Chains A and B, each alone.
Chain A
Amino acid sequence: MTLAAAMPLPGADDPINVSQTVGFGVIAAIMVISALRVVTTRNVVHAAMWLVMVLAGAAAQYVLLAAEFVAVTQVMVYIGAVVVLFLFGVMLTRARLGTDADLTRKNWYGAAFVGVVMVALLAFSLVDTFEDAKVPEDRRTTLAPDLPADASDAEVEAALAQPNVGSNTAAVSDSLFSRYLVPFEVVSVMLTAALIGAIVIARKD
């Protein structure tokens, strides 16, 4: 018995939204072609530019999934900072710009074999497991509305009974600063440590 048969999948009886699916297909095709160019182009600067296309496509997919805060963070951190860092890396490590014939190994077909086998195995297991599970049409997450501190139990119950109060961004910030506060602080300490480590490694002496 497959996993999909053993557990009820949410959204299995929702209709297919054609316009969203077509939009997904267009963005996905752009992303896959750009990703292939990232790993095959002979110019490192061009690879960084194709990487921008992949990252922007990923941001568009997040918007499609109603994860608008993740999409904005993706644009700011990846396209705004990481790609600039890559371009600085290219600039500082290469005396000449232009095509570089030995960017790829000579025995690249071994790596291509690994990639094809991996995508085949992953596709088989995903199709076998999640069959035709659908993402729910309404993708906003429930969030308790602003209630006065002296709200009665009946008011709280009535507010919580309404579906999809608030936005995903508000819900994300609420859970980031309450339930996931300790991991958040750990990540900020780690970012500081990485910054200091990068400076120490890259210094001249």
Chain B
Amino acid sequence: MLLNQFLLLSAVLFSIGVYGVIARRNGVAILMSIELILNAVNINLVAFSAWNNNLAGQVFALFVIAIAAAEVGVGLAIVLAIYRNRRSVDLDELDLMRG
């Protein structure tokens, strides 16, 4: 298998995730797009790990999974707090800090 096929798949997933983060308005949908980005990074790490015959990539992918789980927990807690205060998770309406 070519190394590039994994890297190109990861690049496509990453770009789709970036599109989702920019284009979505719902807070939960944006968190899902962030998960897409983190998964693209993980595929890259594991592919380079297999290519180099070096386990550091796999270990780092495990760390990324742990960090992503923590990120989703805190992110959804923030979205819940926003919903409780504003009765909406539309991030376009969150312009409290606009000057």
Q: CB within 8 Å of B: which residues of A?
A: 10-11, 16-17, 20-21, 24-25, 28, 31-32, 35-36, 38-39, 44, 47-48, 51, 54-55, 58, 61-62, 64-67, 69-70, 73-74, 77-78, 81-82, 85-86, 88-90, 92-94, 100, 102-105, 108, 110-112, 114-116, 118-119, 122-123, 126-127, 130-136, 139, 141-142, 168, 171-172, 175-176, 180, 183-184, 187, 190-191, 194-195, 197-199, 201-202, 204
A65 x B6 contact (CB < 8 A): yes
Partner of A39, one of B11, B23, B56, B92: B23
Q: Is B66 part of the contact surface with A, judged by Cβ < 8 Å?
A: yes
How far apart are A175's CB and chain B's nearest CB, in angstroms?
Answer: 5
CA distance A133 to B3 in the complex (A): 6
With the chains together, A187 CA to B61 CA distance in Å? Answer: 13
B32 and A86 contacting across the interface, CB-CB below 8 Å: yes
How large, as a class, is the contact surface on chain B?
Answer: 35 or more
Within 8 Å CB of A115, what residues of B?
Answer: 15-16, 18-19, 22
Distance from A39 Cβ to chain B, minimum over Cβ atoms (Å): 4
Assuming the contacts A28-B9, A119-B12, A130-B7, asked whether A187 and B50 have C-beta atoms less than 8 A apart, the reply is no
Q: Report the bound CA distance from A94 to B89 in whole Å.
A: 8
Q: For B26, list chain A residues within 8 Å (CB).
A: 44, 100, 103
* Nearest CB in chain B: distance from A21 CB, A: 6
Known contacts A133-B3, A187-B63; A32 and B74 CB within 8 A of each other: no
Binding site for A on B (CB under 8 A): 1-9, 11-20, 22-29, 31-33, 35-36, 39, 42-43, 46-47, 49-56, 58-59, 61-63, 65-74, 76-81, 83-84, 89-90, 92
A-chain residues with CB within 8 Å of residue B74 when the two chains form the complex: 194, 197-198, 201
A132 to B26, CA, bound (A): 41
Q: Is the CB of B46 within 8 A of A70?
A: yes
| CB atoms of A105 and B14 under 8 A apart | no
Bound-state Cα–Cα, A10 to B53, Å: 9
Judging by beta carbons under 8 Å apart, are A16 and B1 in contact?
yes
